Chains A and B, each alone.
Chain A
Amino acid sequence: MNRSKWRNVRNELFSNAFGIAALSILAIFTLAAAFAFLSPMDPNALDITAKLQPPSLHHLFGTDDYGRDYFTRALYGGRVSLMVGFASMILSTGIGATIGIVSGYFGGWIDNLLMRLLEVFLSIPSFLVLLLLSVFLSPSVGNIIVIIAFLMWMNIARIVRAETLSLKTREYVLYARASGQNSFGIILKHILPNLVPVIIVGATNNIASAILMESSLSFLGFGVQPPNATWGSMLNNAQSYVVNSPNLALFPGLLILLTVLSFNILGDILRVGFEPKLGRR
């Protein structure tokens, strides 16, 4: 990982209109979620007299069935949605990268065992298991993060393993081994730094799928429970009022779409930036 590679990524990112748009959207959403408390409204303040209002200057996204300000709720919902996505990404990337490196570097029976484990995880219908687990573990934010991460590490493990296999045969690694450095040191000093690009790309795509997974789960009513809200659970609630207040369904979904879209676009741009051989897409 050298400086010119980072410059390449930066150029790729900022020369691409999609890239700039994606970055700005994510920056705005993250800031809005982080500073949600600056909103003058209370996300849980009930006002039945003002329920189901259409969007106005006072209530940007309108109000929900309890008269709560929908914009403020969307800010706080985004907080949970983004946090679940981010934390699942960190956890799944950690698991995936560790398994991928160990598997690729040590090979032999360890590799065999880990890859069989990976196959088992790939053969388990993950969304059903996700539903099942969130039914009988209490669906707290922490549990959901862990469950999603455990169902998502396989892709990164595969990519990291393949990359480690090829890095392992480079001269500098062979030299380090011949000169008697221990495996842990070699992995830390020579393998891991070169894995940063594939890990970053994989992690970016993982956030996108984690956010989608969480929103589907919450939409079905098995995710984050009230009074906490995420964009997904807001949609679950909005379904009942879609006839008269379609704005309740419109906004959270649009926010999910924009977030996931930005992460997906970002992931692809980063991949091209790190691997200029692939050429611009």
Chain B
Amino acid sequence: MRQLIARRLLQAIPLLFVVSVVCFGLVKLAPGDPVLSFVTPNMHAEDIERIRHNLGLDQPAYVQYYHWLMECLSGNLGYSLVNHQPVFDQIVDRIPATAGLMGISIALAILIAIPLGLIAGSNRNRFIDKAINLFAYIGISVPTFWLGILAIYLFAIKLHWLPSMGMRTIGQNSAWDIIKHGILPCAVLTFGFLASYLRYIRSGTISQLKEDYVQIQYAFGSKKSTVLFRHVMKHILLPVITLLGLSIGDLVTGALVTETVFSWPGIGSLGMTAVRGMDYPVILGITIFSALLLVFGNLLADILYGVADPRIKLGEVSS
């Protein structure tokens, strides 16, 4: 097992290398000269050339890539073109907001999805199943930003129950204030996650109910609820953990639209601001950061899958 994990980790390195080349290349291909953000009107052409030289931008692309990669590996993702702050620090600053929002949404989604999925799967094709199924379909089909706008309209504008944007009220610094700001974005994200988990758990339940151990439990006289919530749930729970791995990969991109709608100060809205301002170092930093999460999230999912079901050999899951 340990050997297999080590092998998968080693396989991730060339993958990350290629991904970093692609991301770097994409950002390099973008139009616009980064030097211009340092230029002031009374600069001479030589000064501009010197800045270009100092930034290493007069060198061929592969040399620039090499330097950039070395810097990355030592934890320096470069500096923002807009506010000249280190990109690494900016991302780290934003992690708690995004991780908190996503973490709570994912946890809530799993807590709700498990009982609903079990109920739907065990009442297949009955009314309750159809209702839950339709709910899940809507969840995977609804544009999250639209849901966000509707939530803002209803709960913030019409009912005045909750704030519509940001994470804090200026001048207030209480946990309750942050929670109040977080409820709407969290609810929107939870709905999206819930729907995909629900479909997964429902079909898992359907296939588990055909297994022999279920029949044996019934033969022993177990009640339906006992079978479902004690035995079937145990078998469903482990594969659900693998979904967590896949969700980690979605952390930044998944929150991007929702964070933008609610002006939630996380990594997603940082990325959005950077794209609007063509702040390439920040875009590159966030892209690499989310690629890293994606690769390790998938890796984690693979490994957990192997742990959950030893019959599945590691490494075969992904291809």
Contacts and interface: CB of A to CB of B under 8 A. Distances in A.
B56 interface: no
A208 interface: yes
A124 B253 CA distance: 11
B295 interface: yes
Contacts of B19: 120, 123-124
The DSSP consensus for interface residues of chain A is helix
A260 B141 contact: yes
Given A123-B295, A253-B146, A264-B140, A129 B26 contact: yes
Contacts of A122: 294, 298
Interface residues of A, number: 44
Contacts of B22: 120, 124
Interface string B275-306: 10010000100110011001100100000000
Given A127-B253, A128-B253, A220-B260, A256 B143 contact: yes
B142 interface: yes
B283 A132 contact: yes
A256 B26 CA distance: 30
Contacts of B140: 264
A135 B30 contact: yes
A183 interface: no
A235 B286 contact: no
A181 interface: no
A215 B148 CA distance: 14
Contact of A135 (B146, B149, B278, B286): B278
B125 A280 contact: yes
Contact of A128 (B18, B31, B157, B286): B286
Contacts of A123: 15-16, 19, 291, 294-295, 298
Please report whether the interface of chain B is mostly helix, strand, loop or mixed according to DSSP. Answer: helix
With a 10 A CB-CB cut-off, give which of B145, B283, B291, B298 has the most chain A CB atoms.
Answer: B145
B173 interface: no
A239 B156 CA distance: 14
Interface residues of B, number: 50
B178 interface: no
Interface in A236-278: 238-239, 242-243, 246, 249-250, 252-253, 256-257, 260-261, 264-265
Contact of A216 (B145, B149, B157, B319): B145
Nearest to B144: A216
B295 A128 contact: no
A125 interface: yes
B244 interface: no
A136 B30 contact: yes
Contacts of A249: 146, 149-150, 153
Interface string A211-237: 010011001101000000000100100
Contacts of B149: 235, 238-239, 242, 249, 253
A265 B138 CA distance: 10
B141 A125 contact: no
Contact of A120 (B18, B125, B153, B271): B18
Contacts of A242: 149, 152-153, 157
Given A123-B15, A253-B149, A264 B137 contact: yes
B256 interface: yes
Contacts of A265: 137
B318 interface: yes
B137 A261 contact: yes
Given A212-B143, A242-B152, A136 B31 contact: yes
B127 to A, nearest CB: 12
A248 to B, nearest CB: 10
B30 A132 contact: yes
B137 A253 contact: no
Interface of A: 18, 115-116, 119-120, 122-129, 131-133, 135-136, 208, 212, 215-216, 219-220, 222, 232, 235, 238-239, 242-243, 246, 249-250, 252-253, 256-257, 260-261, 264-265, 280-281
- The 5 A-B residue pairs with the shortest CB-CB distance, nearest first, are A253-B146, A261-B141, A125-B290, A260-B141, A127-B253
Given A123-B19, A124-B294, A216-B143, 14 more contacts: A18-B134, A120-B15, A120-B19, A123-B295, A123-B298, A125-B253, A128-B287, A132-B30, A132-B287, A212-B141, A215-B143, A220-B272, A253-B143, A257-B141
22 contacts: A123-B298, A124-B294, A125-B290, A128-B252, A129-B287, A131-B275, A132-B30, A132-B275, A216-B145, A216-B257, A220-B272, A222-B275, A235-B143, A235-B149, A239-B149, A242-B157, A246-B153, A253-B146, A253-B147, A256-B146, A257-B141, A260-B143
Interface of B: 15-16, 18-19, 22-23, 26-27, 29-32, 125, 133-134, 137-138, 140-147, 149-150, 152-153, 157, 203, 252-253, 256-257, 260, 271-272, 275, 278, 283, 286-287, 290-291, 294-295, 298, 318-319
